[in-house]
């Protein structure tokens, strides 16, 4: 069965001609590209044969080329790796990065790690952060996606598919939780502790020893603000030391996570993909679904194994719009199998022909395939 390719951003194998801005020569390139960008390219194509026929009319052709070049310059520029550097600013304005939570949330620190000079914009919900990027109110959104103790943040995987933003970067951040309370409140006064569900899960052992009731809220900094604002005397918050300073809380205990190595991986999302490169380590994230049958997942993973492409992550999620599919040998028409989406991260750039071949191979039998982004790997110390 042929693969269904969604757009945007889907992979398309195309042959197109590019105008080089310096020489105005057209150049044939065969490449995998995102369909969204191809529409831009098609509008800027000038064929060399066209140029030959119009030799007599070289001045009008030069004007036309100039017009096409200027036209292409006024279109949105694809993000490049340099957009991820510390000195990023858009013209005279700083890069604006939306995150879910209040100042002092870990996502704010992730935004600052990815874009040190950015303006971090707090948002109530992830939906708001995504919508802010889609409506051009901000340039990027930050999304926590997995944690070394708590595992994957499933809801955020679902968000990646529901929206069509592109992953343009990743950041790994060491997360050190503190137990915060109002001044004068002692450890033994605490009956309940508020925090983000991931933070509560990462401090499972400490909270169990304390015998407190856990209360889940939207973000760690929001928990700290709530405790401070309501001057709670029986409740604490699990949050960062930064949040303790911002909301004027006392730190009752530090490093309360179950393991000192507590690392969260965050994704940076943008409206446009970056142009993948091969001169530094890149990662690529994809999502696909498969027909039901023996060995299909094995076959899907083999497209990477046979090309020596290392996988760093695989996650399966139920397919929401099509939760069940009928089994072939089930003639009463009743649905039998759950339908799944597989999210895979691999250590290669989409600019690498090896990756392109692997995805072309996967496309032959996947029922759905989308490239979520190809982006520089964060190999720095978390």
Ligand X SMILES: O=C(O)C(=O)Cc1ccccc1
- Contact stretch for ligand X (CB under 6 A) within 71-79, 98-106, 155-163, 300-308: 98-106
Q: At closest approach, how far in Å is the CB of 150 from ligand X?
A: 7
Could you give the 3-state DSSP secondary structure of residue 94? strand
Q: Which is nearer to ligand X, 219 or 272 (CB)?
A: 219
Counted residue by residue, the chain has a size of: 382
- Contact stretch for ligand X (CB under 6 A) within 191-199, 278-286, 332-340, 358-366: 191-199
d(CA 339, CA 292): 8
Interface mask toward ligand X for 140-169; x: CB under 6 A: ----x-------------------------
- Contact stretch for ligand X (CB under 6 A) within 6-14, 103-111, 226-234, 286-294: 103-111
Only one residue has tokens 């009752």, namely: 252
Tokens representing residue 242 in the block: 């930064």
80-96 core/surface letters (b: 16 or more CB in 10 A; e: else): ebebbeeebeeeeeebb
How many chain residues interact with ligand X (CB under 6 A)? Answer: 13
Is 244 a binding residue for ligand X by CB under 6 A? The answer is no
**Does 312 participate in catalysis according to the annotation?**
no
**Does 266 participate in catalysis according to the annotation?**
yes
Among 26, 33, 95, 101, binds ligand X (CB under 6 A): 101
Among 98, 105, 138, 366, binds ligand X (CB under 6 A): 105
Is 220 a binding residue for ligand X by CB under 6 A? The answer is yes
Among 146, 219, 272, 363, binds ligand X (CB under 6 A): 219
> Could you tell me which residues are beta bridge partners of residue 142?
268
Q: Which is nearer to ligand X, 178 or 358 (CB)?
A: 178
Catalytically annotated residue among 32, 33, 34, 266:
266
Angle at which helices 353-363 and 296-305 pack, to 10 degrees? 160
* Nearest alpha carbon to residue 180 among 216, 218, 213, 228: 228
Q: At closest approach, how far in Å is the CB of 126 from ligand X?
A: 10
Q: Which is nearer to ligand X, 147 or 374 (CB)?
A: 147
Residue 30: is it exposed, middle or buried by C-beta count within 10 angstroms (0-12/13-18/19+)? Answer: exposed
Half-sphere exposure of 31 (CA within 13 A, CB side): 18
Among 36, 198, 244, 367, binds ligand X (CB under 6 A): 198
Among 145, 175, 232, 358, binds ligand X (CB under 6 A): 175
Q: Could you give phi then psi for residue 117, rounded to 5 degrees?
A: -100, 20
Is 196 a binding residue for ligand X by CB under 6 A? The answer is yes
Q: Which is nearer to ligand X, 113 or 360 (CB)?
A: 113
Q: Which is nearer to ligand X, 36 or 195 (CB)?
A: 195
Q: Which is nearer to ligand X, 189 or 204 (CB)?
A: 204
Is 267 a binding residue for ligand X by CB under 6 A? The answer is no
Tokens representing residue 183 in the block: 């001044």
Estimate to the nearest angstrom the gap between the alpha carbon of 47 and the chain centroid.
37
Is 123 a binding residue for ligand X by CB under 6 A? The answer is no
Interface mask toward ligand X for 330-369; x: CB under 6 A: ----------------------------------------
d(CA 38, CA 363): 19
* Nearest alpha carbon to residue 197 among 230, 225, 219: 219
Could you give the 3-state DSSP secondary structure of residue 163? coil
Q: Which residues contact 232 (CB under 8 A, 6 or more apart)?
A: 181, 182, 185, 226
* Nearest alpha carbon to residue 268 among 130, 371, 168, 192: 168
Q: At closest approach, how far in Å is the CB of 161 from ligand X?
A: 20
Where do contacts with ligand X occur on this chain (CB under 6 A)?
101, 105-107, 144, 175, 196, 198-199, 219-221, 264
Which residues are annotated as catalytic?
Answer: 264, 266
């Amino acid at each position: 069965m042929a693969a269904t390719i969604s757009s945007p951003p889907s992979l398309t194998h195309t042959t197109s001609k590019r105008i080089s801005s310096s020489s105005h020569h057209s150049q044939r390139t065969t490449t995998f590209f995102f369909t969204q960008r191809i529409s831009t390219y098609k509008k800027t194509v000038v064929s060399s044969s066209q140029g030959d026929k119009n030799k007599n009319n070289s001045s009008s052709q030069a004007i036309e080329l100039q017009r096409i070049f200027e036209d292409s310059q006024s279109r949105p520029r694809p993000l490049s790796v340099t957009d991820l550097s510390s000195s990023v600013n858009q013209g005279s304005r700083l890069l604006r990065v939306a995150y879910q939570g209040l100042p002092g949330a870990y996502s704010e620190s992730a935004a600052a790690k990815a874009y040190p000079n950015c303006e971090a914009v707090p948002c109530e919900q992830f939906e708001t952060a995504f919508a802010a990027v889609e409506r051009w109110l901000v340039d990027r959104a930050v999304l926590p996606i997995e944690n070394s103790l708590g595992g994957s943040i499933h809801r955020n995987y679902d968000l990646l598919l529901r929206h069509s933003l592109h992953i343009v970067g990743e950041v790994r951040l060491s997360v050190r939780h503190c137990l915060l309370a109002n001044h004068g409140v002692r450890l033994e006064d605490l009956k309940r502790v508020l925090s983000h569900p991931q933070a509560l899960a990462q401090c499972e052992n400490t909270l169990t020893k304390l015998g407190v009731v856990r209360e889940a809220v939207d973000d760690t900094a929001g928990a700290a603000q709530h405790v401070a604002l309501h001057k709670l005397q029986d409740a604490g918050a699990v949050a960062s030391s930064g949040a303790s300073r911002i909301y004027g809380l006392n730190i009752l205990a530090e490093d309360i996570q179950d393991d000192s190595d507590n690392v969260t991986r965050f994704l940076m999302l943008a409206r446009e993909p970056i142009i993948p490169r091969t001169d530094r380590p890149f990662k690529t994230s994809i999502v696909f679904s498969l027909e039901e049958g023996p060995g299909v997942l094995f076959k899907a993973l083999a497209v990477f194994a046979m090309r020596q492409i290392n996988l760093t992550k695989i996650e399966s999620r139920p397919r929401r719009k099509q939760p069940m599919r009928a089994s072939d040998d089930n003639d009463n028409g009743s649905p039998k199998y759950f339908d799944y989406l597989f999210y895979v991260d691999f250590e290669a750039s989409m600019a690498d022909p090896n990756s392109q071949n692997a995805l072309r191979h996967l496309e032959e039998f996947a029922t759905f395939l989308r490239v979520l982004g190809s982006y520089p790997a964060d190999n720095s110390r978390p």
